[in-house]
C-alpha cells in the first residue's frame, strides 16, 4: 500500500513538472525580444554630456562603468551619468595602461583624417618608420629637430609635419605656417622658414589647413612643440635626438 502511494505521488509530481514545462514561455525568444527593446544605456550618457554622441562611449572593463573619449582625453562615467572619475585605468594582471591604449588609438584616428598630401613630408615613402610631428616654425627645439632631418632619414625615420603655431591665429608664426602651406615646394619652403629665411608664396586656401592642424593638436592635447606621434600613437612631448628616437622605435629586444 505504501509503495502504491509513493508511485502515485511520483506520478503527480511528474504531471505537475510536465505541465509547468508546457506552460513556460519561450525564454530565449522573449529574452531576445526584451534585449532588443532595452534602451541603449549610452543614450542617457549622451544627454548628460553635451556635444557627445553614442560612439564616444564604450563599456570599460569595470561593470557599470563607461569610457568616454573626447579627442584624446579619456574619462570614466557611471552608467547613470551621475559620477565621473579622471585618471588612468590599469589591468593589474598584464600591467597595461588601458587609458593610454585608448588615447593612442584616438591620436592615430585623428591624424588619420588628414590627407598625407597636405602634410610636409621628409623621407622615403618606403622608410622603415614614419612619425608625425606637430611643429612651430619659430620654436627653437623644432628648428633643432629639423636641422637633424638628414640623420633621422638616414636611420630610416620618415617625418611628416603638421602645423602648430603655438601663439595661435593672427600671430607671426601663423603667417609663416600659411606661407609654407601655400608654397609650391613645401619641403624647401619649410627648410628655409626653419632657417629664419622669409618665405613668399602665392595666395591659397592655406588658412583652413593651418587652422585644421592647430585644432587637431588641441584635440590631441598638445602642450608645446615639437610634439612627436609615433606609429603606435604614443605621444613624445619635445625634441628627441635621432639616435634616441630610433632606440625608442626599435628597442633592443626588437633589434635582436
Query: What's the average pLDDT block by block, 10 residues per block, for the chain (256 residues)?
Result: 40 37 43 59 76 82 87 86 86 91 94 95 96 97 98 98 94 94 94 93 83 95 95 96 96 60
Q: Choose among 108, 110, 106, 171: nearest CA to 136.
A: 171
The pLDDT score that the predictor gives to residue 27 is 45
Domain assignment present for residue 33? The answer is no
Catalytic one of 136, 158, 182, 213: 136
Look at residue 120 and give its three-state secondary structure. Answer: strand
Q: What CATH number corresponds to the domain at position 193? A: 3.40.30.10
Indicate the pTM of the whole model.
0.77
**Which pLDDT score is estimated for 176?**
95
The answer to whether residues 215 and 141 belong to one domain is: yes
Provide the domain limits for residue 146.
116-255
pLDDT of residue 17: 34
Give me the catalytic one of 42, 107, 166, 182.
166
- The domain total for the chain is 2
- Residue 11 confidence (pLDDT): 42
Distances (CA, A) of 255 to 131, 169, 249, 252: 19, 44, 10, 5
Is 204 one of the annotated active-site residues of the chain? Answer: no
- Residue 236, beta-bridge partner list: 228
The CATH number linked to 93 is 3.10.450.70
Q: Answer yes or no: do 203 and 125 share one domain.
A: yes
d(CA 255, CA 253): 5
Question: CA–CA separation, 136 vs 170, rounded Å?
Answer: 14
212/139 same-domain check: yes
User: How many whole angstroms separate alpha carbon 147 and alpha carbon 141?
Assistant: 10
Answer yes or no: is 236 within a domain.
yes
Do 123 and 247 share a structural domain? Answer: yes
Nine cell digits for residue 242: 635621432
How far is the CA of 74 from the CAs of 67, 97, 209, 237, 242, in angstroms? 7, 12, 26, 18, 31
Q: Please report the pLDDT score of residue 33 as a whole number.
A: 53
Most distant CA pair in the chain, distance = 114
The question of whether 86 is a catalytic residue gets the answer: no
Sign of CA dihedral 209, 212, 217, 220: negative
Is the same domain home to 82 and 170?
no
Could you tell me if 92 and 184 lie in one domain?
no
The one catalytic residue among 139, 143, 158, 213: 139
* Structural domain includes residue 22: no
Does 66 share its domain with 178?
no
Q: Which one from 104, 142, 182, 213 is the annotated catalytic residue?
A: 142
CB 129 within 8 A of CB 138: no
Please check whether residues 177 and 53 belong to one and the same domain.
no
Does residue 132 lie within any of the structural domains?
A: yes
Same domain membership, residue 155 and residue 90: no
142 is a catalytic site residue: yes
Q: Could you give the dihedral angle defined by the CA atoms of residues 70, 74, 77 and 79, in that order, rounded to the nearest 10 degrees?
A: 70
Are 128 and 186 in a shared domain? yes
Instruction: Please report whether residue 109 resides in a domain.
Output: no
Amino acid at each position: 500500500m505504501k509503495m502504491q502511494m509513493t508511485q502515485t505521488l511520483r506520478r503527480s509530481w511528474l504531471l505537475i513538472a510536465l505541465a509547468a514545462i508546457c506552460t513556460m514561455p519561450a525564454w530565449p525568444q522573449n529574452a531576445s525580444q526584451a534585449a532588443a527593446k532595452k534602451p541603449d544605456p549610452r543614450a542617457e550618457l549622451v544627454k548628460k554630456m553635451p556635444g557627445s554622441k553614442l560612439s564616444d562611449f564604450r563599456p570599460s572593463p569595470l561593470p557599470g562603468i563607461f569610457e568616454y573619449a573626447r579627442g584624446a582625453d579619456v574619462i570614466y562615467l557611471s552608467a547613470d551619468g551621475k559620477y565621473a572619475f579622471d585618471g588612468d585605468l590599469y589591468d593589474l594582471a598584464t600591467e597595461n595602461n588601458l587609458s593610454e591604449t585608448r588615447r593612442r588609438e584616438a591620436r592615430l584616428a585623428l591624424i588619420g583624417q588628414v590627407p598625407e598630401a597636405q602634410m610636409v613630408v621628409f623621407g622615403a615613402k618606403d622608410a622603415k618608420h614614419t612619425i608625425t610631428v606637430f611643429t612651430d616654425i619659430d620654436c627653437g627645439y623644432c628648428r633643432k629637430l629639423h636641422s637633424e632631418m638628414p640623420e633621422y632619414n638616414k636611420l630610416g625615420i620618415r617625418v611628416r609635419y603638421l602645423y602648430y603655431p603655438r601663439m595661435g591665429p593672427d600671430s607671426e608664426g601663423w603667417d609663416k605656417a600659411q606661407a609654407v602651406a601655400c608654397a609650391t615646394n613645401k619641403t624647401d619652403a619649410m627648410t628655409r622658414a626653419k632657417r629664419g629665411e622669409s618665405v613668399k608664396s602665392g595666395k591659397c586656401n592655406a588658412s583652413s589647413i593651418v587652422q585644421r592642424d592647430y585644432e587637431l593638436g588641441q584635440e590631441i592635447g598638445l602642450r608645446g612643440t615639437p610634439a612627436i606621434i609615433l606609429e603606435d600613437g604614443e605621444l613624445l612631448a619635445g625634441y628627441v635626438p635621432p639616435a634616441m628616437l630610433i632606440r625608442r622605435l626599435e628597442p633592443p629586444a626588437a633589434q635582436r
